[in-house]
Amino acid sequence: MKKILVLCLLLLGCTGTPEFNDGSTGLPNLYACDFDEDCVPQPSCHPQECVHKTFVSEFEQPGLCTTHFDCHAAYRPEDCVCLKGVCENKYIFEEHPACSKPFIVS
């Protein structure tokens, strides 16, 4: 019984508020922002998240991506906004405007 209790406490302890290198328990600087210009898409093929531009070098850009266009991805810095101090992808809950236009193949 003690082993189960200790295991539960360890697991619960790991899911609490994270502590970062600077000792804070808020959002990591990775997502923190003051202005829209601070935010850029997280390097990946079809980025769903935006991060502070100073952390871009922390990610490895894939060497090859598909040509698939994800209507909820943030491909350009303009697709990211600083919302209440957090970098956000403005298309995560709505489609990119390019997705509402008819696609005509000639």
Q: What is the pLDDT of residues 6-38, one digit of tens each?
A: 333 333 333 333 334 444 445 568 999 999 999
Domain boundaries, the chain: 26-98
pLDDT score, position 104: 55
Q: pLDDT tens across 61-105, in order? A: 888 998 889 999 999 999 999 999 999 999 988 888 888 766 555
pTM, two decimals, is: 0.67
What confidence score (pLDDT) does residue 50 get?
97
Q: Is 89 exposed, middle or buried (0-12, 13-18, 19+ CB in 10 A)?
A: buried
pLDDT at residue number 18: 37
Strands (E), the chain: 39-41, 50-52, 80-83, 86-89
